[in-house]
Amino acid sequence: MIRSLLHVGMTVPDLEAGRSFYQLFGLESHASGSDLVFRCANREQDQIRLMEGPKKRLSYISLGTDDVGMLTLKTRLERAGVRITETPFRADSGGIWFQDPHGDWVNVQVEQVISSTMPAPPEVNSPGQYRRIGTRACSVESMQKRARPRRLGHLIKFTPDVDRSVAFYTEVLGMKVSDRAHDILAFLRGSSGGDHHILAFAKSTHTGLHHLSFEVGDIDEIEIGAQTLIRAGYEDVFGLGRHVGGSNYFHYIRDPWNSLVEYFWDIDIIPEDDSAWIPLNVSPEELTAVWAAKPAAPGFELNFELPD
């Protein structure tokens, strides 16, 4: 049923701090009523809605399905005793609204992820697979390159009960487990396959946001983006490195409210027919990194959101 991640809504005490950070990160912003909405360049789809409030909070996630999926979802929500309500927020992006087992808001819309119209990045030359022939990957102008995130790929939410969250998002919302670290960490993909994970859950004492993750064009853009934020004074938390869960290259930077944003590139794609995919169930350390330039900074795994 759930096929995609569309956007997230966050409450923050300072919209301008958000505008400065996410613009430098590479997103474009526009005002929407009293909120601030961020999109990727060359792509007509909201990715982050910032709403002003007393403290930073991941307020909701917005997920996509199709017409048949919406009908099935409504039936399953009813059977599970989950109430469908009006939007609890000022802006209504449409679709249905409900709360997950820990009280976090979920919006589901009949909508697909819109493709980026950004030019494709240069082909990669690997041993035996030389795809870029007679064309430079880099030029003097490459030094002016900026990170241009293509799409919001996934987020990791904290939960006090990973098993309970996984049960709800798989059994009621139709998502699938790609890999997990017992009851500490679980990566979920959409029902029709695609990215290794569009939503993941990490154990904490309460709910909150661990990180938002945006896909960029290549490994250069991961570091160009990360180094731009670090030079501006934002905290370098973890990277450059390559994950085991999802196989993506990563670099995490702390946002103005102590959550993280990640640039990623080259994530595993799982087909709808997933008969050949065998999920891992290993330690969190084994899922985290094949290698990294340096260990994660202290607090990488912590939940800095205050409980309600």
- Which of the ranges 23-31, 125-133, 209-217, 297-305 carries the binding residues for Fe ion, by CB under 5 A? 209-217
Nearer to Fe ion by Cβ, of 36 and 63: the residue is 63
Orientation angle between helical segments 219-231 and 15-25, nearest 10 degrees: 140
In 3D space, the residue among 261, 156, 269 whose CA is nearest the CA of residue 214 turns out to be 261
CB of 250 to Fe ion, least distance (A): 6
CB of 151 to Fe ion, least distance (A): 13
How far apart are the C-alpha atoms of 269 and 153, rounded to whole Å? 12
Site string for Fe ion, 166-205 (x = CB under 5 A): ----------------------------------------
- Which of the ranges 59-67, 112-120, 207-215, 222-230 carries the binding residues for Fe ion, by CB under 5 A? 207-215
For 11: left if phi > 0, alpha if psi spans -120 to 50, otherwise beta; the answer is beta
Nearer to Fe ion by Cβ, of 6 and 96: the residue is 6
213 binds Fe ion (CB under 5 A): yes
Specify the pairing of strand 199-203 against strand 46-52.
unpaired
215 binds Fe ion (CB under 5 A): no
Contact 96, 34 (CB under 8 A): no
Contact 289, 244 (CB under 8 A): yes
Nearer to Fe ion by Cβ, of 3 and 197: the residue is 197
β-bridge partners, 130: 125
Direct distance between the N- and C-terminal alpha carbons of the chain, in angstroms, rounded to an integer: 30
CB of 260 to Fe ion, least distance (A): 9
In 3D space, the residue among 11, 6, 7, 3 whose CA is nearest the CA of residue 208 turns out to be 11
Nearer to Fe ion by Cβ, of 179 and 262: the residue is 262
CB of 261 to Fe ion, least distance (A): 9
CB of 33 to Fe ion, least distance (A): 30
CB of 133 to Fe ion, least distance (A): 33
Specify the pairing of strand 260-265 against strand 208-215.
parallel
For the chain, how big is the Rg over CA atoms in Å?
19
Nearer to Fe ion by Cβ, of 100 and 262: the residue is 262
**Amino acid in position 178:** S
User: How many residues bind to Fe ion according to rule CB under 5 A?
Assistant: 2
CB of 168 to Fe ion, least distance (A): 21
Q: 């080259």: which residue's tokens? A: 266
Nearer to Fe ion by Cβ, of 36 and 58: the residue is 58
Nearer to Fe ion by Cβ, of 35 and 223: the residue is 223
Residue nearest to Fe ion (CB): 213
How far apart are the C-alpha atoms of 106 and 125, rounded to whole Å? 41
Name the helix (H) or strand (E) containing 270: strand 269-270
β-bridge partners, 153: none
Q: How many CB atoms lie within 10 A of CB 68?
A: 10
Nearer to Fe ion by Cβ, of 104 and 262: the residue is 262
CB of 241 to Fe ion, least distance (A): 11
Residues 246-305 interacting with Fe ion (rule: CB under 5 A): 262
Which residues of the shown chain bind Fe ion in the complex (CB under 5 A)? Answer: 213, 262
